[in-house]
Structure formats: structure tokens, C-alpha cells
């Protein structure tokens, strides 16, 4: 089996439920993964929107999840330090820690890439790190990547 990321709230390429967006409760979706490669020490998760008008917009940065973790519940707390074995959340492009759901301008659907990285080490980055800091620290430590793409569009009011 291949390293895979899934979500019970939406499938690959399908619509992200309003509950997980700025138009709803803005809570993180539940995620699950399986078949991490041997040697995995930690996981990192990045969610971003490459279709944002100003360029790729970061919605979630989560890192140093222990290798024993295989799922995240819905509504992960929006704090820098989590009670998940040293896991940390970075700052999204809304300048807050944790998840910030899709909130595109009205128009065509945007793609939201949830990318999970299996890493061979814990990342030496401080709480509140930015995506670029986490990606730099991951260099040379990524064993595998799993991805899930969700879609979201806002209607014109």
C-alpha cells in the first residue's frame, strides 16, 4: 500500500463542506493516513491554496506530529503547541496559528492542497513557524508525501 491521506468529510477533488470554511464554523477537517514508510519519526502537514489571487495562500502549517499519530480529529485547537507529543502549529497567511479554512473571493472554485510529509526527524523550528521555515527544515528529511485536494467556491452575494 502507498502512503495515503484521506478525509471522511470530503473525497479527493470534491467540495470541502462549508463547516470547514470561513462561511461556516471554520474548523479543521478530520484527517487520517496510513502506510507511512519505515523510518518515519514525525509528520508535517501543510494546507495551501495555489489559486489565490495574490499567489499561494497558506491555510495550515502543522509539524512534529509523532510517528505514532495516524489521524487528526475535526476542530484541532488553534494554538501553537498541541497535546500531541510535541506537535506544533505554525502561522498561516491570516497570521494566526492553526487552521484557517477556505475563504476565496466569489467566483470559480479554488483547490486546497492538504500535503502530509513523513519525515525521518523532528524539525528544529520554533512554534509559530511559517511554511517557508518548515519547508526549509524538511529538506533532506522527507521520506514520502501524501496529498488530498479539496475544492471550495464562494457564491457572489
Domain positions in the chain = 4-152
**Confidence band of 83 (pLDDT split at 50, 70, 90):** confident
Third-level CATH fold of 4-152: Phosphatidylethanolamine-binding Protein (3.90.280)
Calculate the CA dihedral of residues 48, 59, 115, 64 and round it to 10 degrees.
Answer: 140
- Residue appearing with cell numbers 506544533: 88
pLDDT at 131: 97
**What is the separation of C-alpha 1 from the centre of its chain, rounded to a whole number of angstroms?**
22
The average pLDDT across 122-130 equals 92
Half-sphere exposure of residue 110: CA atoms within 13 angstroms, side-chain side: 26
Calculate the CA dihedral of residues 28, 23, 90, 56 and round it to 10 degrees.
Answer: 110
**Confidence band of 157 (pLDDT split at 50, 70, 90):** low
β partners of residue 75? none
The average pLDDT across 124-136 equals 94
Half-sphere exposure of residue 11: CA atoms within 13 angstroms, side-chain side: 0
What gap in Å lies between CA 102 and CA 18, rounded to an integer?
Answer: 9
**Confidence band of 148 (pLDDT split at 50, 70, 90):** very high
By the 8 A CB rule, do 154 and 105 touch?
yes
> What's the pTM value of the predicted model, to 2 decimals?
0.96
Amino acid at each position: 500500500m502507498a502512503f495515503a491521506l484521506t478525509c471522511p468529510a470530503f473525497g479527493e477533488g470534491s467540495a470541502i463542506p462549508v463547516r470547514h470554511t470561513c462561511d461556516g464554523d471554520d474548523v479543521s477537517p478530520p484527517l487520517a493516513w496510513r502506510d507511512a514508510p519505515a523510518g518515519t519519526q514525525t509528520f508535517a502537514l501543510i494546507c495551501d491554496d495555489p489559486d489565490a489571487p495574490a499567489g499561494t495562500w497558506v491555510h495550515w502549517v502543522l509539524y512534529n506530529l509523532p510517528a505514532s499519530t495516524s489521524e487528526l480529529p475535526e476542530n484541532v485547537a488553534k494554538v501553537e503547541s498541541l497535546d500531541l507529543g510535541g506537535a506544533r502549529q505554525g502561522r498561516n497567511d491570516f497570521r494566526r496559528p492553526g487552521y484557517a479554512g477556505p475563504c476565496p473571493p466569489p467566483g470559480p472554485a479554488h483547490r486546497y492542497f492538504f500535503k502530509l510529509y513523513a519525515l525521518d526527524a523532528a524539525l528544529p523550528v520554533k512554534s509559530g513557524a511559517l511554511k517557508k521555515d518548515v519547508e526549509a527544515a524538511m529538506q533532506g528529511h522527507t521520506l514520502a508525501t501524501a496529498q488530498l485536494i479539496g475544492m471550495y467556491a464562494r457564491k457572489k452575494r
